[in-house]
């Protein structure tokens, strides 16, 4: 009996483009996941606060004596529940509405506090929760 020799086929060679394409695809996928996670983290870590303060009485946007600390460029300070300053911004240009003047502001505030103090000029602090900040702040001072 004679043994027959069966030829073994040569292993198939992978095309040269397969490894680079898979590597690039995996890299793009990882970067997309990391980038999306970073954006989600940043959105969860900050509260975008839009607000304004209306001063009455005012003629145009010239406020009455005693309210001269509330004007365009005046500082708005946000503090956490321990009293630490965590964000600042300034009042924008006033908009005359009726017998008052409304000054807008916006600022991103880090999350993580039970409540937040908002100070305008020398008026002291008004306390808000994170949800209240996110809903917007609308203050009125004067008559």
Instruction: Give which of 128, 131, 124 is closest to 116, Cα–Cα.
Output: 128
Length of the chain: 143
pTM above 0.75, yes or no: no
The pLDDT tens digits of the residues spanning 71-108 come to 999 999 999 999 999 999 999 999 998 888 999 999 99
Question: Domain ranges in the chain?
Answer: 47-142
The pLDDT tens digits of the residues spanning 17-39 come to 767 777 887 788 777 777 766 66
The pLDDT value recorded for residue 1 is 56
Q: Are 91 and 139 in contact (CB under 8 A)?
A: no
């Amino acid at each position: 009996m004679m043994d027959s020799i069966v030829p073994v086929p040569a292993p198939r060679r992978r095309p040269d483009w397969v490894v680079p394409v898979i590597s690039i695809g995996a890299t793009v996928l990882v970067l997309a996941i990391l980038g999306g996670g970073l954006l989600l983290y940043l959105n969860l870590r900050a509260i975008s606060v839009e607000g304004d303060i209306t001063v009455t009485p005012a003629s145009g946007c010239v406020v009455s004596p005693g309210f001269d600390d509330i004007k365009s460029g005046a500082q708005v300070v946000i503090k956490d529940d321990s009293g630490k300053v965590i964000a600042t911004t300034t009042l924008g240009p006033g908009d005359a509405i009726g017998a008052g003047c409304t000054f807008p502001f916006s600022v991103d505030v880090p999350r993580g506090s039970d409540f937040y103090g908002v100070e305008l000029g020398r008026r002291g602090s008004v306390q808000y929760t994170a949800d209240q900040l996110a809903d917007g702040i609308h203050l009125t001072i004067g008559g």
